[in-house]
Structure 1
Amino acid sequence: MKKALLWVAAVLGLGGCASVDVGHYAAEQPVLDLRQYFDGRLDAYGLFQDRAGKVVKRFHVRIDAHWEGDTGILDEHFTYADGSTQRRVWTLQRQPDGSYRGRADDVVGEARGELAGNALRWRYVLALPVDGKVYHVDFDDWMYLIDEQVMLNRSVMSKWGFRLGEVILSFTRSPAERP
């Protein structure tokens, strides 16, 4: 009986680790084209919640984006509620199979992105400075195109499989950049 209970607990525990496949969103509209959405000036507003749900940081991001063929540059300028600033420059590369790879100075290795329908899933490791130390934190980043102007983003941060918190963002294309 104990073995059966342990087996059930193990199966349920592993089931909790499973995640939705990006292909689930293949029929969702509007279809997300990264080269079209991330082109020109965008703004994003977001927050970070710790694992208990407490809002720890709020921020605004100004993004200047452009593409040359299948290579895109996203120049992100963060301003936090406490007045501190940060800059991250992503270089994105569209792959022959339609997926994306991305690099930035604080990304460890390469980010990998899969697209289907209105959704993009990014997975990467970020070198995150906290109190004078740098931690390598896993990001599971989901973006959903709502309409031609708005995209929502939810990122789960974890370390060694333990959830640390979430980042929630709302992207908007600047009025001059809207189709």
Structure 2
Amino acid sequence: MKEGLWLLCLACGVLGLGGCGGVAVDRYRGEQPVLDLARYFDGTVDGWGIFQDRSGQVVKRFHVVIDASWVTRDGVAVGTLDEHFSWSDGSTSRRVWTITRGGDGRYVGRADDVVGDAEGEVAGNALRWRYVLALPVDGRVWHVDFDDWMFLVDEQVMLNRARMSKFGFDLGEVTLSFRKR
């Protein structure tokens, strides 16, 4: 019995470590064009995306319109991204992000359905966000981990891929393309 429990703990540990790997955002430091969040997310940005479950099936499609602006408060850049979603099932939703620029390419983001702070880091043309989203599913709210990557392609286009997980297990992926107006 003890040996079986030990093997189960070992297997869970290995699965947990598998979620810790990956590419560091610093890998993209030399990539062009350089992403400046305040410059890209200033004005109106459209986005089109899909959510795929862990088997790869497209579950939902959506369009998002983001009204974005930045101000300087006490010498710190603070952005507001007001996101309006239209989903393929006819529903709509809204998320308002408040993003604060820190030092060394770091950002902190907050939104009503984000648990705690979203932590972001920019290097070169890439941004990596990590956060926990309170996601309503079938009448319940799940706290889902997001590992969210954005890559600036040119001055108008940015691509976004976010992996969703819970307890280290993949739940699905969001793929999104943005176009600045």
What TM-score comes out, normalization by structure 2 length? 0.88
% identical equivalent positions: 69
1:162 pairs with one of 134, 145, 169:
169
Q: Distance in 2 between matches of 1:59 and 1:159?
A: 23
> SS in structure 1 opposite 2:112?
coil
Could you tell me which amino acid in structure 1 is paired with residue 33 of structure 2?
A: P
Shift of 1:96: 2.6
Give CA-to-partner distance per residue, 1:3-40, whole Å, 9 cap, x none: xxx9xx99986456411000000000000000000000
Aligned length: 167
RMSD of aligned residue pairs (Cα, Å): 1.7
2:109 aligned partner: 102
1:22 aligned partner: 25
2:125 aligned partner: 118
Q: Distance in 2 between matches of 1:145 and 1:68?
A: 22
Summarize the Cα distance change of 1:11–1:131 in structure 2 as closer, same or farther, 3 Å threshold: closer
> SS in structure 1 opposite 2:38?
helix
Could you tell me which amino acid in structure 2 is paired with residue 67 of structure 1?
A: W
Q: Answer yes or no: is 1:63 the counterpart of 2:66.
A: yes
Deviation >4 Å, runs of 4+:
9-13
2:3 aligned partner: none
Shift of 1:77: 0.1
> SS in structure 1 opposite 2:170?
strand
